[in-house]
């Protein structure tokens, strides 16, 4: 049975220096008692400026400063400025089935899971403790690992295949704007490179095998599509949810760990585009006990899964942060864990 729960979003307040400057100018105008005509002219000029900005707010061509002005509700935990809750929005939660549970290293600050050739791979974070490692079939042991240098804070990882057919892993970093590429068989570091994005932070990453593209999160309500070969941004889109009874779109922020779900897996998906189901991506929301399933064609949240029954009591940063396919023929099965969790779970996410 589907259940009802509250979907909450936290909001970060972003400074708008240009607006503050305009306010200061207006105060000075008032104090100096400039004549009425001057004030009217200034007001008209400001309104024209606002209209101009609104008419040129295309994210495709905007600069970083433009984004901070336009996206005044941008969210990120980086500055500990998450200080405002949105009003509760009711959505239907889909059910999941717990298939099995395994021991997990509770010292691992898990930043992401991925799957390759019968094994789960885990990326961990924290300065001095970041790594990528191949887990044993018991999930609590490590078969192979490669540690990052202390100056790097590891983030999301994903398996991918190069245009030339080679198996690789890629690992993001939080604020160092550096990505690492590994050989999938040996975990040997092949190269590293610099990258940049809107927030300047790396969070989650997964690989769209259908289109050979990376899907990346940065803690905002955007997902970014990057080219596999050159790691260049191709496009981006907002993620939004709707209530069961219909509403204006509700931006869903703090998107973190990601896992791609090909369209052929999700044949029961009732959201179709061009007469076929669209591919989706699973995401967890930072510091929340639910997983959302997002349609990649529209950015709309199709399903929510409340997995709070699997989550330990939060005592800091021991929050949900790992999702991976399992390699089973039934590809609605996923591995789920979190930072510093003692358990890794195998679940089936149901579709009604």
Give the per-residue pLDDT at 7.
42
Has residue 275 got a pLDDT over 70? no
Give the per-residue pLDDT at 79.
29
Give the per-residue pLDDT at 89.
53
Q: Cα separation of 182 and 177, whole Å?
A: 17
Residue 307 is assigned to a structural domain of this protein: yes
Q: Cα separation of 118 and 190, whole Å?
A: 22
Residue 285 is assigned to a structural domain of this protein: yes
328 or 81, greater pLDDT = 328
**pLDDT band for position 250 (cuts 50, 70, 90):** confident
Q: Cα separation of 270 and 92, whole Å?
A: 15
**Mean pLDDT, range 301-311, rounded to an integer:** 92
Q: Pull the structure tokens for residue 244.
A: 């069961």
Look at residue 277 and give its three-state secondary structure. Answer: strand
pLDDT digits (tens, 9 = 90+) for 129-180: 999 999 999 998 999 999 999 999 999 999 999 999 999 999 999 999 999 9
Q: Cα separation of 223 and 77, whole Å?
A: 17
The model's pTM is: 0.73
**pLDDT band for position 91 (cuts 50, 70, 90):** low
List, as one string, the DSSP characters of 177-192.
Answer: -EEEEEETTT--EEEE
Residue 161 is assigned to a structural domain of this protein: yes
Residue 113 is assigned to a structural domain of this protein: yes
CATH number at residue 211: 2.120.10.30
Residue 34 is assigned to a structural domain of this protein: no
Residue 282 sits in which domain range?
96-349
**Mean pLDDT, range 54-66, rounded to an integer:** 31
Has residue 23 got a pLDDT over 50? no
Give the per-residue pLDDT at 237.
94
Handedness of CA 164, 168, 173, 179 (dihedral sign): negative
Residue 28 is assigned to a structural domain of this protein: no
Give the per-residue pLDDT at 192.
96
Q: Looking at the 3D structure of the chain, how many domains does it have?
A: 1
Residue 228 is assigned to a structural domain of this protein: yes
Residue 303 is assigned to a structural domain of this protein: yes
């Amino acid at each position: 049975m589907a259940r009802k729960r509250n979907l909450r979003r936290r909001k970060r307040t972003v400074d708008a220096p240009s607006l503050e400057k305009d306010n200061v100018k207006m105060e000075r105008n008032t104090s100096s008692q400039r004549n009425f005509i001057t004030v009217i002219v200034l007001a008209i000029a400001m309104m024209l400026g606002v209209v101009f900005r609104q008419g040129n707010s295309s994210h495709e061509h905007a600069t970083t400063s433009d984004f901070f002005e336009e996206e005044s509700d941008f969210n990120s935990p980086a500055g500990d400025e998450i200080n405002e809750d949105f009003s509760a929005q009711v959505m239907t939660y889909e059910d999941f089935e717990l298939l099995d549970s395994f021991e997990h290293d509770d010292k691992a600050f898990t930043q992401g899971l991925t799957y390759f050739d019968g094994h789960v791979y885990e990326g961990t974070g924290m300065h001095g403790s970041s790594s990528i490692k191949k887990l044993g079939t018991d999930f609590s042991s490590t078969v192979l690992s490669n540690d990052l240098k202390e100056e790097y804070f590891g983030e999301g990882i994903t398996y991918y295949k190069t245009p030339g057919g080679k198996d690789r892993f890629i690992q993001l970093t939080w604020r160092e704007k550096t990505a690492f590429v590994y050989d999938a068989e040996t975990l040997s570091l092949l190269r590293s490179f610099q990258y940049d994005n809107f927030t300047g932070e790396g969070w989650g990453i997964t690989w769209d095998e259908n289109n050979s593209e990376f899907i990346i999160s940065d803690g905002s309500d955007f997902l970014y599509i990057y080219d596999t070969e050159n790691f260049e941004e191709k496009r981006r889109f907002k993620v939004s949810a709707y209530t069961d009874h219909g509403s204006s779109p509700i931006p869903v922020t703090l998107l973190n760990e990601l896992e791609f779900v090909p369209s052929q897996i999700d044949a029961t998906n009732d959201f179709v585009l061009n007469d076929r189901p669209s591919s989706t991506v699973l995401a967890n929301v930072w510091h929340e006990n639910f997983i959302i399933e997002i349609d990649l064609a529209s950015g709309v949240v199709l399903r929510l899964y409340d997995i709070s029954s699997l989550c330990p009591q939060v005592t800091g940063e021991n929050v949900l942060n790992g999702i991976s396919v399992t390699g089973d023929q039934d590809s609605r099965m996923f591995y789920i864990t979190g930072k510093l969790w003692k358990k890794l779970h195998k679940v089936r996410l149901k579709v009604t």
